[in-house]
Structure 1
Amino acid sequence: MKCGVVDVGSNTIRLSIYRCEGGRIKLLLNKKEMAGLAGYIRDGVLSDGGILVACRVLSGFRALLDNFDIRELYVFGTASLRNIVNTEEALETIREVTGLTVEVLTGAEEARLSFLGAATGGGASAGLLADIGGGSTELVAYRDGAVVSGCSLPMGSLSLYSRYVEGLFPTQEETRRIRSFAAEELEKARTPGGTCRHLVGVGGTIRAAAKLCNDIAGADPDNRLIPAAELRDLYKGLKKGDKNTLRQILRSAPDRVHTILPGLIILNTVLKAYEVETVSVSSCGVREGYLLDRVVGRQKDAGGGGAGTDA
């Protein structure tokens, strides 16, 4: 069976097409649109313009799957639809315009599914997972393949940019304010005294940061294991905001030019708080977790068999 999974996020709307066979999944195609829905939120309300942007992207994805003769499409939303006051209105409009029903994940559910997806790729037996999205950040501490604790923080790379930054790139004062807010939110959520030497990173911010680190170091572009010290050095270089820095971003991660620094502030706040030494960038995340849980898991319950991924 082939199916599509769409993640309606605060910064991007992403479609992944998979083949599901024998309890396993294989990624066939990835497509994303930089919708920037967080930028359409004012006083907790997603504007009509933002809702229509979501409808346009989802209609395009639906048409793409129709061209491939793929009938199974699963759509879920995260902070972009969860942290607004007009969620039901937005969902109803999307249903009327596109014919698609969007499932809105709670913060706890998003954290669990992010871990489920990332865990399929293996890695350290104990550590911390961080999924830095456009509108929220999920943290999951795990040991021996099981979740120990998890939380969802109301801050993401695009939501912090929209809240604090006036221009294209944060000023020193705006950077300071973002850093202070991120530290306060993390302090509210984390368990005092907890440390994790290894962090599994999920999401566009961490992928872009790894790409920048590899570019600067002249490392293999596909390298997914980044020392925390390199990420701290990257942050220090980016916050200066000089022309060389901007050129570096435009070469390696042009679609993240306005959100990479807010996202890195969140990441480095986490690295410092938990005394992280190494970061591995997961190729899988919440979409794979959603598919394994909602589709493969139900197939397994119905007909038996294990679950896994070749994504």
Structure 2
Amino acid sequence: MGKQLTQPKSPFKGRLVLGSALTRGKQPAPETARPGRVGIIDIGSNSIRLVVYEGQARIPSILFNEKVMAGLGRGLAATGAIDAEALDRAITALARFARLAEEMGVTDLTTVATAAVRDASNGHVLLDRLAGIGLPVRLLSGEEEASLSAEGLLAGIPDADGIVGDLGGGSLELVRVSAGRIAERASFPLGVLRVAAIRKRGGRSLAQVVGKALKQGGWGGRGQGLPFYMIGGSWRALALLDMHLTGYRLPIVHQYCMAPDNAAYLVRVLARLDKRRLKAIPAISSSRAPSLPDAAALLAMLVKQLGSSALIVSAYGLREGLLHNALPPELRDADPLIEATREEGRRQGRFPEHGDLLHRWIAPLFAGETPADERLRHAACLLGDVGWRAHPDFRAERGLETALHGNWVGVDARGRGMMGQALFTSFGGTTGSDIVQRVCTDEEISRAVRWGLAMRLAQRLSGGVAPPLEASRLALGRGSVVLHLARGDLALYGEAVERRHKALALAFGMRPEVVTP
């Protein structure tokens, strides 16, 4: 059922050509760090999508994203071929996408096709017709598809350690990832469209097919005690349904975590939830709704067979894997959260590099924190000036909103909440956020408040410019929060600075102290 691969080779030799000068092993040129517009057309078994990216190479911004549910794989299980209507629908959509990419000034356009085109007896017909309109297509093997999906996961969750499951319309890819590396991979003909046909046989058909496929591929119990990372539109829709059912207050699907039992629970819910009520849930696309029972049934089987400890959703997948694979090593290894917040700080802040300096200045107060919390504090500092353009009465809300709902990856709900609380406090917010209270513990909120108060002191002391911070330092003394100032800078310690120094010291249960040489 699945082809097992034991060597974690890259699916591409040398480099992935996107029409750019990105190569591995070389220092990026200035233009490499900020490429032009890059487009990817993904021809899947269920949908065809064009995404256009621009901006910082590690975490580029999405300028355009359009999907057409062409259903190339819909009749594949029964006939082995793509039906004529789906072929025509696909050609129409792809001709539009090619023209749009040209009009948008896309300099690098990559078009890839996956399981339906790969497996269909007439898949070559689609490839030939696209070549005829000047749109060459790279037909990915199951091996390449699995590797790129895992690459995309690692681009968005660099510390992922578990089993990646990428569910498309025609196939399911499973990949073991650990320590930032891709290990065993396999591709199975268990896409959501094929699952529907299997389930129609009734009884335990799906359980038998999935169990046999995993056993033959050596995947039975492979994920015991490990998270299962979910990639694919149908599984993201399941996560959105779970959020809706639980009243989750932070509807960011990336890194949303569910208990493994939730898969079986969603199967039961979908069995009694009529189509009208399902389509009425705003977050779930009407085109995805019909496939959700099949996606949930497959997920429940996989969780049981693999022995998964948790279900974690990834918004990143094959397309992001293509982008990530093309980067030089120094950019691939960069922290996506730090890079994205640094870029946002540059874009919205008043002074370049202010966030990194702010982070270094307050760091002595938090020397005992874990690396994970130090990273969140750094990200909050990089966003420490994002609220200055807002009305003064709403700067705290701007900071909170930026952290909670920003386009970040590599951070979960708890991390967003702590960043949001720090920014809310740093901009003078006094009331708590119910969202933060739902995703963080009281101790985590208190810690983030201390970050925010330290940032608030730094911003008032320095006026947001570098020299006052470079000439001063913070430290924890015996029962005091010590501000070391050069004698010539004592004039900076005005009434407003003194108030903020006292507030920070109080948060530590200490007194403020000023020391000069």
Q: Give the structure-1-normalised TM-score.
A: 0.85
**Mind listing any 5+ residue stretches in structure 2 that lack a counterpart?**
1-35, 341-406, 408-517
The alpha carbon displacement at 1:148 in A equals 2.2
Equivalent in the alignment of 2:72: 37
Name the CA shift for 1:273/1:248 in 2 (closer, same or farther; >3 Å): farther
Distance 2:280 2:299 in 1: 21
Equivalent in the alignment of 1:159: 194
Equivalent in the alignment of 1:141: 176
Equivalent in the alignment of 1:209: 238
Equivalent in the alignment of 2:331: 306
For residue 186 of structure 1, the aligned residue among 192, 207, 214 is 214
Which structure would you say has the larger Rg? 2
Equivalent in the alignment of 1:76: 112
Deviations 1:231-270 (A, max 9, x none): 22111222x3x3x343442123222232111111221111
Q: Which has the higher contact order (CA 8 A, sep 6+)?
A: 1
Name the CA shift for 1:280/1:193 in 2 (closer, same or farther; >3 Å): closer
Report sequence identity in percent: 26
Equivalent in the alignment of 2:324: 292
The alpha carbon displacement at 1:225 in A equals 1.5
For residue 17 of structure 1, the aligned residue among 52, 60, 70 is 52
The alpha carbon displacement at 1:276 in A equals 1.3
- 2:91 aligned with 1:59: no
SS of the residue 2:331 aligns to? coil
Distance 2:205 2:221 in 1: 25
Distance 2:142 2:247 in 1: 37
Equivalent in the alignment of 1:4: 39
Distance 2:43 2:264 in 1: 30
Amino acid aligned to 1:216: L
SS of the residue 2:187 aligns to? strand
- 2:225 aligned with 1:200: no
For residue 137 of structure 2, the aligned residue among 93, 102, 110 is 102
Distance 2:61 2:229 in 1: 21
Distance 1:196 1:154 in 2: 25
- 2:241 aligned with 1:233: no
SS of the residue 1:45 aligns to? coil
Aligned 8 A contact 2:188 2:213 in 1? yes
Deviations 1:68-104 (A, max 9, x none): 22243210001011111233232112211x3201111
Amino acid aligned to 2:194: S
Equivalent in the alignment of 2:147: 112
The alpha carbon displacement at 1:22 in A equals 5.2
The alpha carbon displacement at 1:5 in A equals 0.2
- 2:252 aligned with 1:222: yes
Equivalent in the alignment of 1:258: 290
Which moved further from structure 2: 132-141 or 142-151?
142-151
User: Which structure dedicates a bigger proportion of its chain to strand?
Assistant: 1
Distance 1:248 1:230 in 2: 20
Equivalent in the alignment of 1:127: 162
Which moved further from structure 2: 267-276 or 179-188?
179-188
Deviations 1:20-67 (A, max 9, x none): 545653333321111111124353222333222211111111122233
Give the number of aligned pairs.
293
**Mind listing any 5+ residue stretches in structure 1 that lack a counterpart?**
none
Distance 1:246 1:174 in 2: 21
Q: Give the structure-2-normalised TM-score.
A: 0.53
The alpha carbon displacement at 1:175 in A equals 6.9
For residue 274 of structure 1, the aligned residue among 306, 316, 322 is 306
Aligned 8 A contact 1:22 1:305 in 2? no
Distance 1:219 1:21 in 2: 31
